[in-house]
Amino acid sequence: MARVYTSSVISAPPDRVWDRIRGFNDLPRWHPMIRESRIEEALPADKVGCIRN
C-alpha cells in the first residue's frame, strides 16, 4: 500500500492552531475543499475511536 506524507509549518501560536483544528468534525468550517463531514453511527465527536466520513 502506498503512503503519502506531507508536512507544513504554520506561523501561528499553538493555542490558535488547536482552537481551529481540535473539533474532529469541524473540517467544513475551515477547510475550503470539504463541504460535509459526519461522524458514523451518530457518536459524539470527542469519543475515542469515532470515525468521520
Identify the domain containing residue 31 by its residue range. 13-53
On whether residue 5 sits in a domain, the answer given is no
Residues 6 or more apart whose Cβ sits within 8 Å of residue 41 = 51
Q: Is the pLDDT of residue 30 over 90?
A: no
Residues in the chain: 53
On whether residue 49 sits in a domain, the answer given is yes
**29's grid cell:** 468550517
Q: Is the pLDDT of residue 19 over 90?
A: no
Alpha helices in the chain (DSSP H): 14-21, 27-30
Mean pLDDT of 31-50: 87
pLDDT recorded at residue 15: 94
On whether residue 7 sits in a domain, the answer given is no
pTM exceeds 0.95: no
